[in-house]
């Protein structure tokens, strides 16, 4: 997903950064287990595929895999050249992007919002993911069972971003980006999403209208975190996707089957 220049797997952060904690705990009940982690300030961009389980229930497992990888390939093509270093983690129905910027959280939050806007504006496959963003101190650590391990993100910022992605407002927005209101800090939409021109039918350039609008703060009850004031950026420009990811997954599966590249398992 993406290139090594602008996006890396979460494990790369642990393999290239001095660890905040690197110990083996000896527990009397479960035995020895490692705790290896990096604690850092970062912005979390959480993308939730709310319809993934429903899609999985209606399609063959191989089609689900193709659908999932289509989502990841599409997402990777949009990452572009962020000024933050971006790390990713893939889970069952979500993707987490972790933004680290040398200048701090304000810069990493700006990068995350701009990428989220790009995702919402270029949803050619009609994925319409839930998009949540939050910044703060996180711990990136290895979770392990025996010799198998993977990297994960922990902390309140992660939970807030995931909650914001899941708790979309009841609005007719085509796309929505949600985050704690405390992170806005009087930012300007014109600075985040500067207007740009595009070539018109007559050959000249026309100013493209701004896609995103800022909503009013809403209070959301986050379990275990009390009430949190959330802000939403909504895009109300509805357009038909160029392709259907669900249909394309089925078409790709049929093509693989036709060419003998899918070997049905023996019973």
Q: Residue 7: which pLDDT band, with cuts at 50, 70 and 90?
A: confident
Alpha-carbon dihedral sign for residues 2, 106, 133, 188:
negative
Q: Is the pLDDT of residue 204 over 60?
A: no
More confident: 250 or 203:
250
Q: What pLDDT shows up at residue 18?
A: 94
H helices of 88-149, in order, are 105-121
Confidence of residue 241 (pLDDT cuts 50, 70, 90): confident
Q: What is the mean pLDDT of residues 21-43?
A: 92
Cβ pair 207, 162 in contact under 8 A: no
Pair type for strands 175-180 and 130-145? parallel
CA distance to 132, 160, 176, 236, 238, per residue, from 55 (Å): 22, 26, 21, 25, 23
Residue 244 has pLDDT above 70, yes or no: yes
Whole-model pTM above 0.85? yes
What mean pLDDT comes out for the span 223-251? 85
pLDDT interval class at 40 (50, 70, 90)? very high
Q: What rounded mean pLDDT belongs to the chain?
A: 87
Q: Residues 115-131: what's their mean pLDDT?
A: 91
Express each pLDDT in 156-196 by its tens digit: 999 999 999 998 887 788 899 999 999 998 898 988 887 76
Answer yes or no: is pLDDT of 266 > 80: no
């Amino acid at each position: 997903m993406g290139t090594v220049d602008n996006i890396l797997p979460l494990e790369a952060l642990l393999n290239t950064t001095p660890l905040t904690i690197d110990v083996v705990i000896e527990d009397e009940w479960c035995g020895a287990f490692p705790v290896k982690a990096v604690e850092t300030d970062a912005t979390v961009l959480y993308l939730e595929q709310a319809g993934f389980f429903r899609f999985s229930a209606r399609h063959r497992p191989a089609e689900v895999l193709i659908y999932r990888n289509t989502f990841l390939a599409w997402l990777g093509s949009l990452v572009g050249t962020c000024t933050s270093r971006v790390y990713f983690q893939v889970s069952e129905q979500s993707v987490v992007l972790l933004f680290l910027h040398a200048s701090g959280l304000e810069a990493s939050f700006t990068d995350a919002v701009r990428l989220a806007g790009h995702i919402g504006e270029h949803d050619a496959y009609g994925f319409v993911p839930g998009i949540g963003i939050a910044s703060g101190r996180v711990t990136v650590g290895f979770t392990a069972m025996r010799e198998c391990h993977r990297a994960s993100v922990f902390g309140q910022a992660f939970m807030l971003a995931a909650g914001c992605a899941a708790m979309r407002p009841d609005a007719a927005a085509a796309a929505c980006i949600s985050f704690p209101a405390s992170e806005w800090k009087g930012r300007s939409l014109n600075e985040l999403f500067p207007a740009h021109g595009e070539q018109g039918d007559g050959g000249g350039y026309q100013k493209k209208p701004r896609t995103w609008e800022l909503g009013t703060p809403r209070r959301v009850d986050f379990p275990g975190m009390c009430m949190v004031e959330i802000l939403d950026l909504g895009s109300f420009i509805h357009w038909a996707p160029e392709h259907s990811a669900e249909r394309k997954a089925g078409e790709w599966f049929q093509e693989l089957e036709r060419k003998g590249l899918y070997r049905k398992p023996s019973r």
